[in-house]
Amino acid sequence: MRAITMTRIGRLAGALASASVVALSTACGIGGGDGDPNTIDYWLWDSAQQPAYQKCAEEFETRNPGLTIEFTQYGWADYWSKLTAGFIADTGPDVFTDHLSKYAQFVELDVLYPLDELAATEDIQDSDYMAGLAELWKGQDGHRYGAPKDWDTVGYFYNRTMTRQAGITDEQLRTMTWNPQDGGTFEKIIAHLSVDANGIRGDEPGFDPNNVKTYGLAGSDSGFGGFGQTQWSPYTGSIGWQYTNQNPWGDQFNFDDPRFQRTVDWYFGLAEKGYMAPYSVAGNPSAAFGGDKQLSSGTAAMALNGDWMISTYTTLTDADGNAMDVAVAPTPIGPTGQRASMFNGLADSVSKQAENPEAAAKWVAFLAGDECQRIVGESAVVFPARPAGTAAALAAHAAAGFDVSAFTDHTKDGTTFLFPVTYNAADITAYLRPALDSIYLGEHDASVLTATNGQINSLLELTTSSK
């Protein structure tokens, strides 16, 4: 493996500290290759996707005799800490699934190979993928650091039995509107779906918001780590607001915008009204359970989540073990007259610790090519980044009888906005988390974000001035 310099070790240790992840003492013995240049150690976090990628690996090994793919899978909560610790201990992977919120820091720490400097990946073209995806993986130096693997948008998974019992039709859910003043038809729907311990609905006299049996909307964390992707981003995205002054590589955030703050106050206010699961159920890491489990347990009727969760939600069972009737609705139409969804995508990156970087690049090129992406599409777990892969996924969902248009219409109608790509993502998260958590808890209103925004922009100013 290519050794990491002491300077980079120090900076990686700083990344560990700012992200509040594992201590350096845990780094030894984590993952890593076996020293065989013909074995490519591939890391990913999503266990649901692993079977499809193992099929890709079988095809790759057939086409490349002598090369072997070895999988390492960790859950999201552990993945990034183990990855960073592996870089420090010189036991990191050859290839790994990368995220837009993380890769800029890895580029800055000089632990990624530029893919355009490796023979197998040098000819990757932006036009090979869904519009806008590939460009996000280019650093400010113009080099490409990730080969796109999939894309995602968000929508509302809902328990159709609950909505029908409440007299709410699929058409009403498909045509929801919202605004930060009264919440529009969206708030009326989740209010009606909320039921307290005495059987009183949220829009009926006597509803007790402090003793709710079923919330209209599942809660999540406060959105500090993913810029609100599966929390408040559909609403802030449909008011004409942008995260930064430019994307990618913005150097000024806009969390001090009054429009953003009004929207965030409205969103977290849903928990105070008893229409959305509170922090104690969904936001507190020691107590949280995801939207899928909130639907399955009857704690919530609807949950905002990404298309990467389709297979999880469509296989839910209720408390009696019966298959749950789950459908998905699009994000509501906002004050701009359009609905909105964050458009995000993962990619595969080659680590500078790769035993055989050219072999690793061959695997990345295969992962990013039509053949593998068709295999992944046929598994119907995610929407692959290449059009051929997305077409295969659409065919698989159609064969299963599940309508995914709530996700795909965003790309067709042009109602997406990009995940903000910036340096210092771990430090920005460290600033955002306490501020957003305090709003979710009802300790502050969103004006607290003005000071947070100043801290973040001062940090970015220091970063950009040092480059």
pLDDT tens for each residue of 291-308? 999 999 999 999 999 999
Give the pLDDT of residue 108: 87
Task: Tell which residue, 268, 305, 270, has the closest CA to residue 443.
Answer: 268
Give the pLDDT of residue 20: 38
Both tokens assigned to 409: 């219409």
What is the average pLDDT value for the chain, to the nearest integer? Answer: 91
Do residues 137 and 103 make contact, with C-beta atoms less than 8 angstroms apart? yes
Both tokens assigned to 24: 């350096």
Same fold, 6-150+348-400 and 154-343+424-465: yes
Cite the DSSP H helix spans in 151-309.
Answer: 160-165, 170-174, 184-193, 233-236, 258-273, 291-297
Give the pLDDT of residue 465: 72
When the candidates are 3.30.70.20, 3.30.56.10, 3.30.2420.10, 3.40.190.10, the CATH number that belongs to 6-150+348-400 is 3.40.190.10
Instruction: Break the chain into its structural domains and give their ranges.
Output: 6-150+348-400, 154-343+424-465
Give the pLDDT of residue 1: 41
> pTM score, two decimals?
0.90
Give the pLDDT of residue 301: 98
Do residues 261 and 447 make contact, with C-beta atoms less than 8 angstroms apart? yes
Q: Give kind and range of the element (H or E) at residue 305.
A: strand 300-306
Measured in residues, the chain has a length of: 467
Do residues 54 and 84 make contact, with C-beta atoms less than 8 angstroms apart? no
pLDDT tens for each residue of 87-121? 999 999 999 999 998 998 899 889 999 999 999 99
Q: Is 22 helix (H, G, I), strand (E, B) or coil?
A: coil
Residue 97's beta-bridge partner residues?
348
Give the pLDDT of residue 176: 98
When the candidates are 1.10.10.10, 3.40.190.10, 3.20.20.10, 3.30.360.10, the CATH number that belongs to 154-343+424-465 is 3.40.190.10
pLDDT tens for each residue of 415-427? 999 999 988 888 9
d(CA 131, CA 150): 12
Give the pLDDT of residue 283: 81
Backbone conformation region of residue 169, classed left if phi is above 0, alpha if psi is from -120 to 50, else beta: beta
| Residue position matching structure tokens 């820091």 | 105
Give the pLDDT of residue 259: 98
d(CA 385, CA 134): 9
Cite the DSSP H helix spans in 274-386.
Answer: 291-297, 310-313, 357-367, 370-379
Cα 380–45–295 angle (5° rounding)?
A: 60
Residue ranges for the chain with pLDDT beneath 70: 1-34, 466-467
Do residues 56 and 366 make contact, with C-beta atoms less than 8 angstroms apart? yes
d(CA 359, CA 366): 11
Give the pLDDT of residue 467: 63
Give the pLDDT of residue 6: 40
Do residues 16 and 22 make contact, with C-beta atoms less than 8 angstroms apart? yes
